[in-house]
Structure 1
């Protein structure tokens, strides 16, 4: 499926995995608004069709590719389809994921395996597919969509946190190899905060209450803007999005033991709302498959989610002042955390 926009002559070629909902959906729209050609990789038919329509209405050109990212051969074939259609790949955004909300002892071995295959190996297979087409041209950018949880594990999300930690290590290895080869291909990682996305409606949940993002909650467009910026400024190895991400990562570096205790006290309740878990689960099959429902980019936390991040502006325009303010905010948050834990 392709649109009829004029982006073919001028826009870059972008691949977004997990493009049917949440951050992937918002990111696809953001690239399309720049006139880019966007290949949408995901499983759900309803979500893919709706995402393609949004890309075209935003001014881009859409290519829909149904694929499960944990299938390496299918990801390679998807990359080849993009190249056959658009000629090359400029930016590959690894974003697809799944997870389980439950204590470690309540996550089955096959569920750990599935989360790891989608959330970690999906990034590995996507990166390898992108490199296969980028390295001969000696140009291109791979953006790994990460999380504060790539550095800092929290309770009830062990499978997801483990996969995000693995992505962090993989990306650092890849970056070193590209630097060693003096390659024109770049890789960067964007670490995100809690976001108002539909994932909390479709991730497998064995908690007592309904799953929710840890506050403060940001709209997915905040993440999308950071990803689009990172794609054009990939010499920088990593971007942190949101003041909560900065505070968490600095606190983890400065007082990790205190952070363990703080999260043990607060994060069981912080990840749950009143209500009974229910709805479709996307661990094994797309959530929109048998239901015929398009979830879109936003979850049901619009009332509390913020649409902008001053920290993100400082990060994009960082100088000495921006860096000092960012680090200072993190140190103050770490000190406040220490005070809360000692109470």
Structure 2
């Protein structure tokens, strides 16, 4: 089923910056009505004004997704303002980078609460509304870390593996409701302020590498899913490559990812340890972009530049799988 955006009511968590702010703009400029949710109230009002200037209606609802009561209030405000909720996007996310045992347990707990329980709270509020209406689209922002484990981000990986499973389970529960959809989005590395907002206990500076996607790439994926719902969608060839590699050769994939991350950490410059915005909001990181593409001199979007590399990477994975299968048959 395809759907036009004009007049649709969209709830967006994590809307104050990064992917959420880009997506709010993308829906607003197509005439959608957006309910913006995040902890930074003043910044949400700024995003709401942007959305109105782009032609959409918008309300700002300060929300802590780890608090089910706060998320219930968000659902109520969106319904009062717009009369219904057509789309709910669980986009709030965070993480802890560094050796698992070096971070306070409170930071790991908070990561799970935001990434997994926050999405569960959103789904708990949205699905009854969708079922009463007879339609609705729930979109969960997962990560390539939901397909393959990310070393030195154990709690993040746990939350994203859980979120993928949660999304898949809901889809099966809702099979008898053809107009209620549960979609999962798996972005590769995205240039957002998220690296500033996450905790870093490694003592080393994080570098996202040379293949970085624009928040607008993910935003346009959200829009496409409202028009044409699909179960699982990757944004960027590294995300799809991680999925295939871990499915075909989990052991070697874990080894390569672990070795690459350990080597990168050894070469990285020192950095102070920080809790980021996990336990309370911070003033920095207010825009859509994290500034990584500009600092590295990369294109606005890595999608066109990396397509050939992606095809080569996927071909290599297929070759690896065929080699492994042939070796098993010879035994």
Q: Which TM-score bucket, shorter chain as reference? A: 0.7 to 0.9
Q: Are the counterparts in 2 of residues 190 and 241 from structure 1 also a CA contact under 8 Å?
A: yes
For residues 82-133 of structure 1, give each alpha carbon's deviation from its aligned partner in whole angstroms, at most 9, with x where no partner exists.
0011100011000001111111111222222111111100000101111121
**What is the rounded CA distance, in whole Å, between the counterparts of 1:311 and 1:171 in structure 2?**
29
Deviation at 1:135, TM superposition (A): 0.9
**Is the contact made by 1:215 and 1:270 (CA closer than 8 Å) also made in structure 2?**
no
Q: 1:82 aligns with which of 75, 78, 84?
A: 78
Give the CA deviation at 1:210: 2.1
Q: 1:23-54 CA distances to partner (integer Å, 9 max, x unpaired)? A: 11111111111111111010012321221122
Identify the match of residue 261 of structure 1 among 251, 255, 262.
255
CA distance in 1 between partners of 2:222 and 2:177 (Å): 24
Q: Shift of the alpha carbon at 1:201?
A: 1.4
In the alignment of these two chains, the number of paired residues is 315
Question: Which residue of the partner structure matches residue 193 of structure 2?
Answer: 198
Does the alignment pair 1:62 with 2:42? no
Q: Structure 2 length normalisation: TM-score? A: 0.87
Q: Name 1:301's counterpart in structure 2.
A: 292
Distance across 1 between alignment mates of 2:264 and 2:24: 30
Q: How does 1:6-85 map to 2 (within 5 A)?
A: 10-85=6-81
C-alpha separation in 2, matches of 1:74 and 1:140:
21
Match of 1:103 in 2: 99
Structure 1, unaligned stretches of length 5 or more? Answer: 1-8, 315-324
Judged with a 3 Å threshold, the aligned counterparts in structure 2 of structure 1 residues 42 and 198 are, in CA distance, closer, same or farther, namely same
SS of aligned partner of 2:181: strand
Q: Does 1:332 align with 2:322?
A: no
User: Which secondary structure state, in structure 1, belongs to the residue aligned with residue 292 of structure 2?
Assistant: coil
- 2:168 is aligned to 172
> 1:139 and 1:112 mapped to 2: Cα distance?
35
Q: Is this contact kept in 1: 2:202–2:273, CA < 8 A?
A: no
With 47-56 and 271-280 compared, the bigger mean Cα shift is at 271-280
CA displacement 1:175-230 (0-9 Å, x = unmatched)? 00000x33421111111000111111121111222223244111111111111111
Change (3 A) 1:197 1:40: same
Please tell me whether the aligned partners of residues 16 and 40 of structure 1 are also in contact (alpha carbons under 8 angstroms). yes
CA distance in 2, matches of 1:262, 1:333: 13
Residue 187 in structure 1 maps to residue 182 in structure 2: yes
The separation in 2 between residues aligned to 1:257 and 1:146, in whole angstroms, is: 22
Query: 1:335 & 1:275 partners in 2: Cα distance?
Result: 39
Inter-CA distance 178–74: structure 2 relative to 1 (3 Å threshold)? same
Q: Which residue, 212, 237, 245 being the options, matches 2:239?
A: 245
- With normalisation by structure 1, the TM-score equals 0.84
- Is 1:208 the counterpart of 2:199 in the alignment? no
RMSD: 2.8
Partner deviation per Cα, 1:213-271 (whole Å, 9 max, x = no partner): 2441111111111111112211x211111111111111111121111111121123547
Counterpart residue number, 1:148 = 144
Cα separation, 2, equivalents of 1:157 and 1:173: 24
Q: Which runs of 5 or more residues in structure 2 are unaligned?
A: 324-331
